[in-house]
Structure 1
């Protein structure tokens, strides 16, 4: 699933990786196992989309993301994973409902903006650090711009290539790369190239209008999943 999203199809699908693994193992261990695989996947993604990126948006997003990663590093042992899921899930649902329910011209779209890019970049860096869930905040900023779908994916690939490799140092300082975790990462890594190849194929086949419809739908579904897990983890009501 993560490989398919890295290949450029339905990018929010990859956010489900940690929650699904967390059904079996602790969330922090799941995040530590997935990070080396993400870095491995990012190399393939960059080879596919290395020449396609909105560099102006990246200049706005990346500095904020680095700040978000640093904040996540400082708070890593003090934040409840359930709280993060509730916050991110609520933002996903509100964002998607706003897109569908707000009355606006059919050609309405936003532009690259330093303040919005810095803000959403920092949120993406933070949520990416604590649970590899940086996709939705990035989409909140990028999707309303309605740029070419390949340019959108290329920008996302470059963004996560940078921040995933930036996360390696603080994860190492937190002692997350045990022999057991790295062994599991190595065992799962062969699935990465296949997933990315499939994602690239689907990206080329699916028309742009359908691409964006799927992206928004998956943000909503993902938000519901995160909200459900967060509330259940906090209150144990389900």
Structure 2
């Protein structure tokens, strides 16, 4: 049973990192959503977060010329860093089952909103800068809690004029920065070293995920791919939010 759980997590990781290579976000949301059906969130994070910095570090270096540095350093990183630290220090105060349910509700709302937006072809409108800064701070808090700030950060960046390649490169650089911060925190609190065997065993899946994602990024209909992922997240979020 234990072997099946870790094999299933490997499949979730491959799916998740393929998606991130395509779109620039979503790896930990997907892997954590599916993995939380089998394992506690606090056991998954020290495995998934270091894996993420391996992939995003490579892609940040490769696509560094596409990063919007003004947006990254001017708006995103200050709010994300502050929020991530807040979320990290809040997590130990949350009951494990409550944390899983809160994460499930978060995923459920995110997937529902994205499916509604795609169904109605809603066009995001630019918001005042202070509103985007607040949303970015909230994204940081969810990142500190669940390493899953992507949904809110993408919402904060809606309406920007970045093409999909620059958008992806900028987001990937954010996850590299924030997950490096979390990995250092896991090292200091003693959670990283026990998780290293799992991190190393799953590392080859990153190569496969990046290879698949790079090709799918150019060839597949991203809209259809996202619909399938959001439906999967919708189901998973419901299972986490309303456990039997």
Q: TM class by shorter-chain length?
A: 0.7 to 0.9
CA contact (8 A) 2:20 2:26 kept: no
Deviations 1:201-226 (A, max 9, x none): 111223xxx42564466346424422
Tell me whether 1:166 sits opposite 2:181 in the alignment: yes
Tell me whether 1:89 sits opposite 2:107 in the alignment: yes
Work out which of the residue numbers 202, 209, 216 in structure 2 matches 1:188. Answer: 202
Rate the CA distance shift 1:186–1:71 in 2: closer, same or farther, 3 A: same
Would you say how many aligned residue pairs link Structure 1 and Structure 2?
Answer: 226
Tell me whether 1:225 sits opposite 2:243 in the alignment: no
Tell me whether 1:149 sits opposite 2:160 in the alignment: no
- Normalized per residue, the structure richer in helix is 2
Partner residue of 2:69? 55
Partner residue of 2:191? 176
**Distance (Å, rounded) in 2 between the aligned partners of 1:21 and 1:103:** 31
TM-superposed CA distance for 1:47, in Å, is 2.9
Partner residue of 2:88? 73
Deviations 1:178-234 (A, max 9, x none): 33x11111111111122112111111223xxx42564466346424422431221xx
RMSD of the alignment, in Å? 2.7
**Distance (Å, rounded) in 2 between the aligned partners of 1:103 and 1:81:** 33
**Distance (Å, rounded) in 2 between the aligned partners of 1:86 and 1:19:** 7
TM-score (normalised: structure 1): 0.81
Structure 1 gaps of 5+ residues are none
Deviations 1:97-153 (A, max 9, x none): 55257686xxx4434753233222222222222222222112222344463111111
TM-score (normalised: structure 2): 0.79
Rate the CA distance shift 1:76–1:14 in 2: closer, same or farther, 3 A: closer
Structure 2 gaps of 5+ residues are 1-14
